[in-house]
Amino acid sequence: MGANFNNFPCLPRIRTMYSQFSEKEKTIADYILEHPEKIIHSTINQVSDDLFVADATVFRFCKRIGFNGFQSMKIALASEIVNPIQDIHETIQEDDTEKEIAEKVFKANIRTLDDTLNIFNENRFEDAIEMIMNARRVEFYGNGGSGVIAMDAHHKFLRTGIQSVAYTDSHFQIMSASQLTDQDVIVLISHSGSNKDMMDVLQIAKKNGAKSIGITNLAKSPLSQKVDIPLFTASQETDYRSEALSSRIAQLSIIDALYVNVMAKLNNAGHESLHKMREAVSLKKL
C-alpha cells in the first residue's frame, strides 16, 4: 500500500522530502520554508530572481514536490497560512541562554508533532489498529535509534494482552521473521525507510504471509512502498539535531496513539490486562 504523497500539505511535504533534495532544490526549499507569506504574493519570476536561478528551476521544484506548477503550489501554501503561525527557527546562536536553547528544542518538537499531525492519514491509521487487534502476535523491529522506539512500543503493548516482542538486533529480527505466519504483524520503525536490514526482514516476513506496518519519515522510501500500511512522521534536520533525532518524538507519538486506540477498543479486556500487569509490577515495590 504505497503513500499518496500528493495529499500532504505543502510545508510538511517539503520538510519530509528535504533530505532527498539536491543542493539547488534545498535552496528553493529553504526560501519557501522561511518566507511562505512572501511566496503567495510573488510571481515565479520574482522568486527565481531572488534565488538567482532560472524560472524553469523553480517550476521543476514545484513539480518535484507533487504540484502541477508554481501557481498550484501557491494556492496550497495560501490555504496553510490563513491563520499564520510564527515560524520556528532552531538555529542556536552563540549568545543564546540555556533557557533559550531549551525553548528552541521544545518548539522544534512541537513543530515536528504539528507537521506529523498535518500528514496524518485516518484511513491508514484505522487499518493499522485493526491489523494489530486481529494479530496473533505483533513484533516491533528497529535498529539504532529506532530500536529504542521498538522497545518502547513493546513496553506499551505488553499492557494490552496482545502477544508482542521487540527485536533490535538484525540477526534476531531475521530469525524471528522466518517463524512468522499469516496471523502475525510486524511493525518496522525506520526514519529513512531505506535500511537494508529492515528491507531484508520485511521480505522474509512477507514471504511467510505476515502483515506489515512501517513508521518512516520518507514517503517515497523503499519501506513505505513495500509495507502494507505506511505511517509517516515529518521532521527536518537542523544544526544540532539530525533529522532522525527530531523524528523520534513523532515516532513515539504514533506508537502512543496506536496503543491508546487499541486499549480503548479492547475495553474491559484491556483494563483487565492492565490491572493484572500493575498488580504484578506492584510486587517489585517496597
- Residue 54, pLDDT score: 95
The residue behind cell 505506511 is 230
Q: For position 92, what pLDDT does the model report?
A: 74
Residue 18: what pLDDT?
A: 80
Model pLDDT, residue 96: 87
pLDDT score for 2: 46
Give the separation between CA 223 and CA 2, rounded to whole angstroms: 9
Q: Is the Cβ–Cβ distance between 231 and 254 less than 8 Å?
A: yes
Query: Per DSSP, which regions of the chain are E strands?
Result: 137-142, 164-167, 184-189, 211-216, 229-232
* Confidence (pLDDT) at 151: 97
Quote the CA–CA distance of 181 and 220 in Å, as a whole number: 27
142 DSSP β-pair partners = 189
- CATH for the stretch 122-282: 3.40.50.10490
Total Cβ atoms within 10 A of residue 286: 2
pLDDT per residue as tens, the chain (286 positions)? 444 556 677 888 887 778 778 999 999 999 998 899 899 999 999 999 999 999 999 999 999 999 999 999 999 888 877 644 444 445 677 888 999 888 888 888 888 898 888 888 899 999 999 999 999 999 999 998 899 999 999 999 998 989 999 999 999 999 999 999 999 999 999 988 889 999 999 999 999 999 999 999 866 789 998 999 999 998 765 555 555 567 899 999 999 999 999 999 987 776 677 767 677 777 777 6
Report the alpha-carbon distance of residue 201 to residue 204 in Å, rounded.
5
The residue ranges of every structural domain in the chain are 5-87, 122-282
Identify residue 263 by its one-letter amino acid code.
M
CATH of the structural domain 5-87, one choice from 3.40.630.10, 3.40.50.620, 1.10.1750.10, 1.10.10.10 = 1.10.10.10
Q: What are the strands of the beta sheet with 184-189, ordered from one edge?
A: 164-167, 137-142, 184-189, 211-216, 229-232
The whole-number pLDDT of residue 17 equals: 79
3-state helix, strand, coil in the chain (%, to 5): 60, 10, 30
CA distances from 157 to 160, 273, 278 (A): 5, 10, 14
Other CB atoms within 10 Å distance of the CB of residue 283:
6
The C-alpha atoms of residue 140 and residue 146 are separated, in whole angstroms, by 10
| Tally of CA atoms within 13 A in the half-sphere of 95 that contains its CB | 0
User: Could you tell me the three cell numbers for 84?
Assistant: 499564520
- Are 261 and 129 spatial neighbours (Cβ–Cβ below 8 Å)? yes
| Residue 216 confidence (pLDDT) | 92
What is the DSSP code (8-state) at residue 95? T
| CB contact at 8 A, 188 and 198 | yes
